[in-house]
Amino acid sequence: MRKIVVNAMGEQCPIPVVKAKKAMAELPQEGGEAEILVDNEISVQNLGKMADQKGLKWNSEKTAEHEYHVHIFVGEGQEKPKVKAAEEEVCMPDRRGHSVAVISSSVMGNGDDELGKILMKGFIYALSQLDTLPETILFYNGGVFLTTEGSDSLEDLKSMEAQGVKILSCGTCLNYYGLTEKLQVGSVTNMYVIAEKMAGASNLIRP
C-alpha cells in the first residue's frame, strides 16, 4: 500500500486539510494512506472531521509535545476527495489567545478553603467558556492538584486542551506532593519553561 507523507507542521487551517486532500488525490486507484504531520490538536480535529465527512478511516498519534501524525486511509472503490480552494474549507475556529493563565493553588482567594475550592472550580469552568481561551495554563505548587486524579476540574481542562490550550504542570511540584503518576491532563514542565511562558505572555491571568 502506497503512503504519502505530508509535512504541515506550522501550518494553520485550512492548509493541512488542503494538503491532505491533494495527497489523497495522488494515491493510486487501489488506494493507500496519507500521513499528515501537524503541530496542534485543532488541525488533528479538522483533518478527522474531513475524513469522517468522506467516510474514510483515520487515526492519530501524538509523537512529541508539538507533533501529531494523522493517518487517513483511502481504499479501493472509495471516492477520492477533490481539492478545493482554501477559502472553501470549513475549519474549527482556533479560540486561543496569547494570554497565559497562572494557577498556583487549588483554592481561590484567602479565607475558607472549602469556599476557595468551589470558587476555583467555577473559575476554571468560566475560563473554559471564554470567547478567547488562554494559549497556556500553568500549574505549580498547590495548583497541580487541579490537573491530577480526583480533581473536579479535569473535564473542563480536557475540553480546553482539546481546543489547543497547553496545560502544563510543574514537575518538581508533582514530585513533591507525590502526584507524578496521577497526572490526568496536559504534560509535565519545568520552572524554566514556566518562566519563559510568563515572560512571553501578552497578558497574565491570575485567579
pLDDT tens readout for residues 61-117: 999 988 999 999 998 555 555 555 444 455 665 666 679 999 999 999 999 999 999
Residues 83 and 148 in one domain: no
Residue 64 lies in domain: 2-88
Residues 187 and 114 in one domain: yes
The pLDDT assigned to 143 comes to 98
What is the rounded CA–CA span in Å between residue 98 and residue 121?
23
The pLDDT assigned to 97 comes to 64
Final residue in a domain of this structure, among 61, 88, 115: 88
Strand order in the sheet with 2-7: 2-7, 31-38, 67-75, 57-64
Specify if 185 maps to a domain.
Answer: yes
pTM check: above 0.75: no
Residue 74 Cα distances to 3, 5, 84, 108, angstroms: 10, 14, 18, 51
Final residue in a domain of this structure, among 39, 66, 88: 88
Residues 82 and 155 in one domain: no
Beta strand 99-103 pairing with 203-205? parallel
- CB under 8 Å to 66, separation ≥6 — which residues? 39, 40
- Alpha helices for the chain (secondary structure H): 15-25, 41-54, 113-128, 154-162, 171-176, 191-200
| Residue-by-residue pLDDT tens, the chain, 207 positions | 799 999 999 887 778 888 999 999 999 878 899 999 998 888 888 899 889 888 899 999 999 988 999 999 998 555 555 555 444 455 665 666 679 999 999 999 999 999 999 999 999 999 998 888 999 999 999 999 999 999 999 999 998 988 889 999 999 999 999 999 999 999 999 999 999 999 989 899 999
Residues 64 and 132 in one domain: no
Residues 68 and 104 in one domain: no
For residue 138, the Cα-to-chain-centroid distance in whole angstroms is 14
Residues 107 and 81 in one domain: no
What's phi and psi for 2, nearest 5 deg? -75, 140
Domain of 34, CATH number, reads: 3.30.110.40
Specify if 67 maps to a domain.
Answer: yes
Specify if 70 maps to a domain.
Answer: yes
Residues 25 and 61 in one domain: yes
